[in-house]
Amino acid sequence: MDGLPPDAQFSAPARDLPKLLAPYRVADHRRSIFELAITGVPYLALWLAAWIALSISIWLTLALAVPAGAFLTRLFIIQHDCGHGAFFRRRKINDWVGRVLGVLTQTPYYVWRRSHAVHHATSGNLAKRGVGDINILTVREYLALPRYRQFHYRVYRHPITIFALAPAYIFLLRNRVPPGISHASWRFWVSAMGTNAALAVVAGTVMYAIGVREFLLVQVPITLVAGSIGVWLFYVQHQFEATFWVEGHAWRSQDAALRGSSHYDLPPVLRWMTANIGVHHVHHLSSRIPFYRLGEVLRDVPELTQGKHITLGQSFACVKYRLWDEGRQKLVSFAEARAQPAQ
């Protein structure tokens, strides 16, 4: 059958899977509103609790930043569904909810939606790397670089850079003035500057009410926790050993979804907290499926549970994979690349 991952067999051709998944693309407005409420209300409550905790101990505030950051990540995933037109049936509702959530997540909605659409259209395509994804080099490309550029890439791919420094840079700085804004469309500019203006109003109001220091001590840790969780999830969804990368002429969307996107099988509590984003292979097959229906897909189409299955314990090994070996068709570590260069 065309387009199947080598470790799975489907009862229908892979090209028919999007049609098979079409019934799940219908959002339930009541369920969407419920999911928004049970995510947004706890987030705001935890934010308030973290502020109150400042009068007791800064360490208690920092401890509360962890669950608050997790709920903020869940709000980002709802914004993500809005960007795909999946959370509500009407595009305008998705867009306005996405814009409002973009203020909380500090992510301009239209800017992110555009770059993420490019990610879906190019994921796994070696000829179209660099937009909406984590930069990756092939072993051949890396070995051809001068030493100083190899060092630059190694620093870029270091876990501290990707999971600590990058989230801070993206959500606190880059999202304020996204790359390319000087020659982008008016919608791009309005999205970025409109989000900044709304952020200034909201943050300024809260600072006036509770104080600048207090606001920063609560908001910055929450943002950094949420950013790190988000980057980790995105990393594991595509940066695993047996992922999928091909040159442009051989690229097909079903292959990129089934072979290049993982099924990150998390424990139930984490699966709920991350809004089923771990069912990423199905999401890439049909991005219009609301996150709360992805579990239904796995239940009704059990073949899809055979995708690139990664457990929580297995996922930590993904950190070492930093180069794509075209000869062996897998991601490898720097040590593996040195020990056995690609042919």
Per-residue pLDDT of the chain (343 residues; tens, 9 = 90+): 233 344 444 444 556 777 889 999 999 999 999 999 999 999 999 999 999 999 999 999 999 999 999 999 999 999 999 999 999 999 999 999 999 999 999 999 999 999 999 999 999 999 888 777 889 999 999 999 999 999 999 999 999 999 999 999 999 999 998 887 667 788 888 999 999 999 999 999 999 999 999 999 999 999 999 999 999 999 999 999 999 999 878 888 888 888 899 999 999 999 999 999 999 999 999 999 999 999 999 999 888 887 688 999 999 999 999 999 998 999 999 999 888 654 4
Burial label, 48 (beta-carbon count in 10 A; 0-12, 13-18, 19+): middle
pLDDT of residue 255: 86
- What is the model's pLDDT at position 13? 52
Task: Give the pTM.
Answer: 0.91
pLDDT at 341 (0 to 100): 52
DSSP H or E segment with residue 311: strand 308-311
Pairing of strands 323-325, 330-332: antiparallel
Share of the chain above pLDDT 70, in %: 94
Distance, in Å, from the CA atom of 315 to the CA atom of 309, rounded to the nearest integer, reads: 10
Using alpha carbons, select from 218, 129, 228, 123 the residue that is nearest to residue 169. 228
Q: Measured in Å, how far apart are the chain's first and last C-alpha atoms?
A: 29
- Separation of alpha carbons 85 and 90, rounded Å: 7
* pLDDT at position 132: 77
3-state SS class at 267 = coil
The pLDDT value recorded for residue 1 is: 29
Q: Helices (H), strands (E): how many in the chain? A: 17, 5
b/e sequence 214-228, b meaning 16+ C-beta within 10 Å: bbebbbebbbbbbbb
Q: What are phi and psi of 201, to 5 degrees?
A: -65, -50
Q: Where are the beta strands (DSSP E) in 296-335?
A: 308-311, 323-325, 330-332
Q: What does the alpha-carbon distance between residue 321 and residue 304 come to, in Å, rounded to a whole number?
A: 25
Domain spans, the chain: 25-339
Helix, strand, coil share (%) of the chain residues, nearest 5: 70, 5, 25
**Backbone torsions φ then ψ of 124, nearest 5 degrees:** 90, 0
Q: What is the predicted pLDDT for the residue at 133?
A: 83
